Structure 1
Amino acid sequence: MPMQHRLTYRQHARAVLLLGLPLIGSHVAQFAINLSDAVMLGWYSVEALAAEVLGGTLFFVLFIMGSGFAWAVMPMVASAEASGQETQVRRVTRMGLWASLFYGVLALPVMIWSEAVFALLGQDPDVAELAGQYLEIAGWGIVPALLVMVLKSYLAALERTSVVLWVTLAAVVVNVGINYLLIFGNLGFPELGVRGAAIASLLVNTAALLALAVYVAASAPEHAMFQRFWRPDWEALGAVFRLGWPIGLTSLAEVGLFAAASVMMGWLGTLSLAAHGIALQVTSVVFMVHIGLSNVATVRAGQAFGRGDGVALRDGAKVVLGMAGAVAVTTMVMFLVVPDLLIGVFLDPDDPDRAAVMAAGRQLLAAAALFQLVDAAQVSALGLLRGVQDTRVPMVIAALSYWAVGVPVSYGLGFVFGFGGPGIWLGLAAGLALAGVFMLVRFWGWSARGVGVQGV
């Protein structure tokens, strides 16, 4: 094997930023769609916000599980492109779209009849009814949302990220505009509350899919992505499925941990659930930054994997982890120093429940500050492991860390020891810490040694 030219850490950092900043921006913008729903519904009413927290949580749980096939496309395309296998790029992306489409159709009934699910989980009947109304409409958006994720992964792996950012930013603007008209009934439109936010989300997801599909068809004719799209490629579909389902279950384990926390917060009452929803929105914005860096780690590691370049894999990993650590430290300071600034934007200044929700939210952000570093570590390590197509052991690590440790500790601290909301969030920190340690050990102890010969 020929010697690989070794990049300096500065060159790695520059490459990470060039690829990562548009990805981070697109993830933050994508989340801003949900964030704008939460902010605007919070100004509409606390009950509407609580309903969006429940409905949005279920949507996100199902969405993130189905996104495993999209995440699988990213390292497979990056590796195929780096090794000159152009046909494989088209095959795995197209079958990623197939797998995501099938999954989305299967997930639809759960959301259409979600009110019964929330009732079984012991949620407030009024909030459960509102959440069900939200998902009866917004739930249909899971199909275009999943297909958008596949196209984003394909474009990210080819380092064509600018269009993803611009499409997502446009989607935010459109979503806010439709929310303004349909949630509050402005400019003569009907006042629909949570259903207005749901209609906006469905329209925006559909429009984003059409925009990216047109771009892919026009900008990459060599891949002929949508020609004879109906023809199956069982070998490629099997490869995407084998790599994607462990990624989906790994993501489900983590998102399920936060969903379980949302259910437990609902047992504490509507105000506690609203405070949890706000704190979750704030921490999720930062999480989107880490997801963007994790995507960069996947692409860069996938390229190194395709070339068999262990030196680039290891050096690039150090740079990504360092950047993620810097973001985490900055976040910890913000959560501890200016929590009121972060929480207050979600609440009407004249809302009689504002003071109670603010007080609960401060405690939750203080608890969130404790898990910023470990959360950054586990997300980055997961991205690196996906880059070298190691997904099954991380799935086991995630399931055990989040569900054998995180959920029981959350319940114990929250209810058995009586710490309430902060106790539930400290349980989240325990699960994330364990996952972070073992994911890093997995990458440095096994995967990095499995690629290339020099420097590893």
Structure 2
Amino acid sequence: MVKNRFGYNRSKLKLITNMAVPLMLTQFFQIVFQITDQAIVGRLKVEDFAAVGVASSFIFLITGTIGMLCSAFNIVGGQYFGENNIKKFGESFNVTMSISVIIGVLCEILILGYGTKIMENIYGLHAETLSVAGEYLKVAGLTIGINLILFNFSSYFKNINKSHILVYSLTAASIVNVCVDFVLVHGKFGFPELGATGAAVGSVIGYTISLILSIFFFQKYKIFNYSFVLNKEIFYRLFRLYIPLALQDLIEYALFAIALTAFVSRMDVHLLAVYTIIVTLTELFMIPMYALSGVCMTLSAQAYGKEPQKGTEYTGLSCVFLLALLFPLALIMIMFSSPIARLITDKENIVLIVHQVLPIALAANIINGIQMIFRSTLQAINLEKWVLLYSSFICGISLVIIYLMIEYFKLPGLYIGLGICYLGLSLGYIAKIKFNFKLKYK
């Protein structure tokens, strides 16, 4: 019964595992190296450290928003791949890659001309910090285009079931980034001390190494040749899908997050510190969530392209796999929450609150993982516009609920409210999948 219910079989489980495990390892190593990199940059002057933080956050925001174009390719390309239409799969890859190159060049030109002015107008930085941020941005801005190209390669390798390549390329990039930062930021081994600019150079060199490796593996496993092309039909299909995906990302991961931050910032400083620690601890918890939702999107798009009624056949198994990973991880984190929190802070009152609130936060994130998988499935089967409208409605209502919950229950109320939000999203997505399947295929 369980096998029938969740579509279980060895081949599907093996396929999900082969794709998800390398992605999880890649994200884990990136977090480790990111923390190491922050430790290196963190020894700069406070103004320089702040400048790097602000400028890198700006780059991350731009890259993430534009990078939804590559998610569009993941869906469109996956559907073509499922149809075994390699020609169209190749065309969609080439068009997305060509657009990414153009966007990368335009972004760097814009940054070189107006980067410092943009930093000043958006963040209102002081003169010294602004100067450092501007210089960092001029170099690190190159990573926008490079990252977009890497996102495309990532989608390509996932579609041809070669996710392990991402472990090689991105781990190599992280190692090189950390090493170059160590040498150039503080001027080791006779190299000049470049400070924040050295950190930017390290990022560019690291991602360039990843790009070179990706090109090498693309040549090794290519099933078509790359050419710079802007096919009108493919461009229109990608852009039509990009708009709702980008708006979804903007609402759920930008506006919603900004509103939550605004709520939390009004709390007591001790609760604010607890919130910061919990966010750090749950980064590890989020790794399988992002990996499996991404894998489910790719496989669902392929299955939908091959046979539309099979577009949801990987969803249930992906959820079961996720829960099998998250429940033991949650128990371990709860059992050792106090010792782990003490690695970050020596304030016992904060450690105590972390121990009390973390179980609620983890429960909310488990529900979040489920809704992410169902959302990815719906987006992969051409229901991205419905997802945008429904999630916007639920997130809007949830902000009111979260605000009221915080008023009465403080920080626990935040995570209770988030749990309600994620549950509402999950139930709606499940109902939509069942209704859509019954309407079309029964």
TM-score band w.r.t. shorter chain: 0.7 to 0.9
Aligned to 1:244: 242
SS class of match (1:223): coil
| CA-CA distance at 1:388 after TM superposition | 1.5
| CA-CA distance at 1:212 after TM superposition | 1.3
What residue identity is the alignment partner of 2:294? Answer: N
- CA distance in structure 1 between the aligned counterparts of 2:432 and 2:302, rounded to whole angstroms: 20
What residue identity is the alignment partner of 1:376? Answer: G
Query: Are 1:391 and 2:393 an aligned pair?
Result: no
- CA distance in structure 2 between the aligned counterparts of 1:443 and 1:50, rounded to whole angstroms: 45
- CA distance in structure 2 between the aligned counterparts of 1:32 and 1:76, rounded to whole angstroms: 33
Does the 8 Å contact 1:33/1:201 carry over to 2? Answer: no
1:217 maps to which of 213, 216, 219? 219
- CA distance in structure 1 between the aligned counterparts of 2:259 and 2:137, rounded to whole angstroms: 18
Does the 8 Å contact 1:23/1:165 carry over to 2? Answer: yes
| CA-CA distance at 1:138 after TM superposition | 3.3
| CA-CA distance at 1:94 after TM superposition | 1.5
Does the 8 Å contact 2:368/2:422 carry over to 1? Answer: yes
Name structure 2 gaps, 5 residues minimum.
1-5
Q: Given the superposition, is the C-alpha separation of residues 441 and 125 from structure 1 closer, same or farther in structure 2, using an over 3 Å criterion?
A: farther
| CA-CA distance at 1:166 after TM superposition | 0.9
- CA distance in structure 1 between the aligned counterparts of 2:261 and 2:296, rounded to whole angstroms: 30
Aligned to 1:114: 119
1:28-83 CA-to-partner distances (Å, cap 9, x unmatched) read 34454544434555677998877666555443333222222111112222221222
Q: Given the superposition, is the C-alpha separation of residues 75 and 181 from structure 1 closer, same or farther in structure 2, using an over 3 Å criterion?
A: same
Aligned to 1:321: 319
What residue identity is the alignment partner of 2:290? Answer: I
| CA-CA distance at 1:170 after TM superposition | 1.0
SS class of match (2:162): coil
| CA-CA distance at 1:161 after TM superposition | 1.5
What residue identity is the alignment partner of 2:427? Answer: V
Equivalent residues in 2 for 1:88-237, closer than 5 Å: 88-104=88-104, 105=106, 109=111, 112=116, 113-119=118-124, 135=137, 137-187=139-189, 189=191, 195-220=197-222, 222-225=223-226, 227=227, 229=228, 231-237=229-235
Q: Given the superposition, is the C-alpha separation of residues 313 and 370 from structure 1 closer, same or farther in structure 2, using an over 3 Å criterion?
A: same
- CA distance in structure 1 between the aligned counterparts of 2:269 and 2:48, rounded to whole angstroms: 10
Equivalent residues in 2 for 1:50-449, closer than 5 Å: 55-104=55-104, 105=106, 109=111, 112=116, 113-119=118-124, 135=137, 137-187=139-189, 189=191, 195-220=197-222, 222-225=223-226, 227=227, 229=228, 231-256=229-254, 257-262=256-261, 278-308=277-307, 310=309, 312-343=310-341, 365-402=358-395, 404-409=396-401, 419=410, 427-446=417-436, 448-449=437-438
What residue identity is the alignment partner of 1:219? Answer: Y
Q: Given the superposition, is the C-alpha separation of residues 126 and 337 from structure 1 closer, same or farther in structure 2, using an over 3 Å criterion?
A: farther
What residue identity is the alignment partner of 2:321? Answer: M
| CA-CA distance at 1:152 after TM superposition | 0.7
- CA distance in structure 2 between the aligned counterparts of 1:450 and 1:433, rounded to whole angstroms: 24
Q: Given the superposition, is the C-alpha separation of residues 362 and 59 from structure 1 closer, same or farther in structure 2, using an over 3 Å criterion?
A: farther
Q: Given the superposition, is the C-alpha separation of residues 156 and 372 from structure 1 closer, same or farther in structure 2, using an over 3 Å criterion?
A: same
- CA distance in structure 1 between the aligned counterparts of 2:403 and 2:42, rounded to whole angstroms: 27
| CA-CA distance at 1:181 after TM superposition | 3.0
TM (norm. structure 1) is 0.78
Comparing 45-54 with 370-379, greater Cα deviation is found at 45-54
Q: Given the superposition, is the C-alpha separation of residues 25 and 70 from structure 1 closer, same or farther in structure 2, using an over 3 Å criterion?
A: same
Aligned to 1:3: none
| CA-CA distance at 1:270 after TM superposition | 9.3
- CA distance in structure 2 between the aligned counterparts of 1:13 and 1:91, rounded to whole angstroms: 30
* Percent identity for Structure 1 against Structure 2: 18
Q: Given the superposition, is the C-alpha separation of residues 254 and 364 from structure 1 closer, same or farther in structure 2, using an over 3 Å criterion?
A: farther
Comparing 72-81 with 363-372, greater Cα deviation is found at 363-372
- CA distance in structure 1 between the aligned counterparts of 2:128 and 2:420, rounded to whole angstroms: 33
1:231-258 CA-to-partner distances (Å, cap 9, x unmatched) read 3211111111111221222122222133
1:241-285 CA-to-partner distances (Å, cap 9, x unmatched) read 111221222122222133444466567799987765554343233
Q: Given the superposition, is the C-alpha separation of residues 326 and 399 from structure 1 closer, same or farther in structure 2, using an over 3 Å criterion?
A: same
Name structure 1 gaps, 5 residues minimum.
1-5, 348-352
Q: Given the superposition, is the C-alpha separation of residues 316 and 341 from structure 1 closer, same or farther in structure 2, using an over 3 Å criterion?
A: same
Does the 8 Å contact 1:144/1:205 carry over to 2? Answer: yes
- CA distance in structure 2 between the aligned counterparts of 1:357 and 1:438, rounded to whole angstroms: 36
- CA distance in structure 1 between the aligned counterparts of 2:25 and 2:343, rounded to whole angstroms: 21
Q: Given the superposition, is the C-alpha separation of residues 116 and 76 from structure 1 closer, same or farther in structure 2, using an over 3 Å criterion?
A: same
| CA-CA distance at 1:436 after TM superposition | 2.8
What residue identity is the alignment partner of 2:366? Answer: L
- CA distance in structure 2 between the aligned counterparts of 1:132 and 1:433, rounded to whole angstroms: 42
- CA distance in structure 1 between the aligned counterparts of 2:404 and 2:193, rounded to whole angstroms: 42
1:414-451 CA-to-partner distances (Å, cap 9, x unmatched) read 5x6693x66555554444333233223323332x4477
- CA distance in structure 1 between the aligned counterparts of 2:63 and 2:224, rounded to whole angstroms: 27
1:328-376 CA-to-partner distances (Å, cap 9, x unmatched) read 32343244222345445567xxxxx877876776677455213122111
Does the 8 Å contact 1:50/1:274 carry over to 2? Answer: no
Query: Considering only aligned residues, what root-mean-square deviation do their CA atoms show, in Å?
Result: 4.0
Comparing 38-47 with 296-305, greater Cα deviation is found at 38-47
Q: Given the superposition, is the C-alpha separation of residues 237 and 303 from structure 1 closer, same or farther in structure 2, using an over 3 Å criterion?
A: same
- CA distance in structure 2 between the aligned counterparts of 1:437 and 1:98, rounded to whole angstroms: 39
